[in-house]
Structure 1
Amino acid sequence: MTCAREGVSLTGTAPLGKQCRDKRSERCAIRYGSSWKLLSGRRSSMMDRADLHTHSNWSDGVHRPSFIVKTAVSLGLGGVALTDHDTVGGLREFLATETSSEIVRVPGIEISTESVGGEAHLLGYFVPPDARELEQELHRFKEIRRARFSKMVSRLRELGIVLDSERVEHTMSEIDVPGRPHLARLLVEAGYAKNTDEAFERFLGKGRPAYVKRELIEIHRGIDLLRSIGAVPVLAHPLIVRIDDLTEFLRDLKQHGLVGVETEYKYTSVNTPLSPHELRSIVKKLGLIMTGGSDYHDAESHAQLGEVTCPIETIEELRKVADEL
């Protein structure tokens, strides 16, 4: 098996740090270690698994991309993807972090979109960080997020909640895409909430006094955008989407270019209309790729890094599609 861009073997051995080196090399799964055998060879049970949904401090996670990589290595995972919200800023660090482990890294993104069922998220895999069209759209997303963040701070102030101005300014300047999770953490720091869940429940959740609706890209446009840059579009945590007929919804998205669905996800705090087993059955019948991940953000996340995974072979399925886009 070889990388379609350079003929680099994906099943043989390679020196530390060997990787595809065409001008869009970030799209290729990078391999580190003395040998990397994606589809064969003896591995531990976790080496057979990949966590394809994680977030760093470039969006609403709390840890650097290098922490994501090193933690995945310490867990013995075979693969990991970084899928920050509406930014690819952390991908270079994610791909460049040195490690001697045989771990496969997939550069990704998570885009918030508007669908007939309300907000729905798209995961994009094998994202080239330097794609001009994506950069232009992400710049617009960032400006929208920053404006929304400022409006929520103002609404909190109207409620008599005054946050430390230096901490607010630091968040606005240091975080690529500031959002509600960052504001929730500031509320906890200031003593207005015991934890981020309470901050959302009292102030920031939909319908709460400091909530501000965000402008979103239409989901079909989101799929088109990802495909236009060679990234593989996958619907994230579909059982959260408020839709009456999920089968028809997925069929419509597939017709518009959707390639996969995140079937492995921890829904413990959400009442879902279907069971994960029913979801897998629908996705299988539609011929879509099944992915999975923890949606890890921090220690308070509903799932910790590596807690929800999919087979390592899923990365190869996604890579083959990326090669054809």
Structure 2
Amino acid sequence: MKANLHFHSCYSDGTQWPEEMVVRASNVNLKLIALTDHDTMQGVPSFLRICQENNIQGIPAVEIDCIDSIQLDNGEYFNFDMEILAYFPYNIEENKWFSSQTFSLVEKRREIRKERIQEDLEKIKSYFNSEIISYKNLLDYKFRNYKEYFENLPLSWSRSDLYNFLISLNIIDEKTLREKAREKVIKNSSPYRYFKSEILEGSIKREIKKPKLTSILKIITKDNGFAVLPHPGHLFSDNISKIKKNEKNLINFLEICKELGLWGIEIYYYHENNDKGLEINNFVRKTANYLKLELTYGSDCHGKSSRQDFFENFWGDFLGFL
């Protein structure tokens, strides 16, 4: 089945509405899609409605930030600080996902994200001594391509929203941030990572406490959901040499996760280097086959005018949630 099971909308850090993403899916004849916004399922109802109108199968889903340090069989610890995808393909008509423990958990995190972005704005406004840094102006930027104003929309704010907003105001620029990141020799340096570690965390000490990966896997399974590890290459900075060097530990980590409820692993669109991505995905296929984990396919598209706009570039022949 032609599927794309990982993309975002305006409800988190995407640039388009769920309805617009469904239209894009229809234009490339996708048969199965899932909206996976960060720590929110608020966009799912309209997403499912438009999917039905376009004769596309839509799946309630969410991408959940989580963290953990899992002891392996050799005594070492596998440190995890990433996300897990949760899919709820059954009982969609009864909206059982809406009353799930997973939904309640991400709703609490969505509220915390809003509190944090408002706090971030106040402190960044003081840091740069700029009055144009405000929640209203952030909303204006977020919905700049739309006529309507959505002040009370239940959004799941990300610090990347703040980063892009500041770039639009010419308060920060990526070239300067990249140079500063290189000067400080920050690990896996990028303009955004420098912004988070040196500017944002330098002025703001508040951090959202992420739930444990082990707990999230159990919750998703209890809710009759399907837990999938997204973009596995990110665990090792998308470096295939590091992945192969740590293969034994990675496999042991996945074995432990599978016992806790992990159902699948994602074939991902590594847009920065297609050859590297092919090599990583081949490794993932081999590993999934060895561990009897299922494969899903995700573009991680964030919409038009974003840095990750490749919805039409990637899809996979998904076997289904079995």
Aligned to 1:309, which of 306, 309, 315?
A: 315
Distance 1:308 1:208, change over 3 A: farther
TM-score, normalised to structure 2, is 0.73
Q: CA deviation at 1:267?
A: 5.2
In the alignment, which residue of structure 2 is the partner of 1:166?
136
1:1-325 counterparts in 2 under 5 A? 48-97=1-50, 101-116=54-69, 117-126=79-88, 128-160=96-128, 162=130, 163-168=133-138, 173-193=152-172, 201=191, 205-211=195-201, 213-242=207-236, 244=246, 245-266=249-270, 268=272, 275-299=280-304, 300-313=306-319, 316=320, 318=321, 320=322
In structure 1, C-alpha distance between the alignment counterparts of 2:194 and 2:15, rounded to whole Å: 19
Where relative contact order (Cα < 8 A, 6+ residues apart) is larger, the structure is 2
| Alignment partners' CA distance in 1, 2:253 and 2:51 | 41
Partners of 1:103 and 1:197 lie apart in 2 by 44
Deviation at 1:158, TM superposition (A): 3.5
Shift of 1:269: 6.5
Conserved? CA contact 1:185–1:196, under 8 Å: no
Find the aligned partners of 1:251 and 1:196 in 2 and give their Cα distance: 42
Q: Which consecutive residues of structure 1, in runs of 5 or more, have no partner in the other structure?
A: 1-47, 321-325
| Counterparts in 2 of 1:110 and 1:215: CA distance versus 1, 3 Å | same
- In structure 2, the CA distance between the partners of 1:202 and 1:134, relative to structure 1 (3 Å rule), is closer
Decide whether the 8 Å contact of 2:4 with 2:297 is kept in 1. yes
Identity of aligned residues (%): 22
* Partner SS state of residue 6, structure 2: coil
CA-based RMSD of the aligned residues comes to 3.0
**Amino acid paired to 2:200:** A
Amino acid at match of 1:286: L
Which whole-Å CA distance do the structure 2 matches of 1:98 and 1:150 have between them?
A: 33
The more displaced of 161-170 and 218-227 is 161-170
**1:258 Cα shift?**
0.3
TM-superposed CA distance for 1:74, in Å, is 0.8
Q: Indicate if the aligned counterparts of 2:114 and 2:155 stay in contact, CA closer than 8 A.
A: no
**Range with greater deviation from structure 2 (221-230 or 144-153):** 144-153
Residues of 2 paired with 1:206 and 1:269: CA distance? 24
Using a 3 Å threshold, how does the CA distance of structure 1 residues 196 and 147 change in structure 2: closer, same or farther? farther
The structure whose residues are more often helix, as a share, is: 2
Query: Which one-letter code corresponds to 1:146 in the other structure?
Result: K
| More displaced stretch, 220-229 vs 132-141 | 132-141
**Hey, what's the Cα distance between the residues in 2 that align with 1:118 and 1:311?**
28
Specify whether residues 109 and 158 from structure 1 end up closer, same or farther in structure 2 by C-alpha distance, changes over 3 A only.
same
Number of aligned pairs? 268
Q: Normalising by structure 1, report the TM-score.
A: 0.73
Gaps of 5+ in 2: 70-78, 90-95, 143-150, 179-189, 237-242
Secondary structure of 2:312's aligned partner = coil
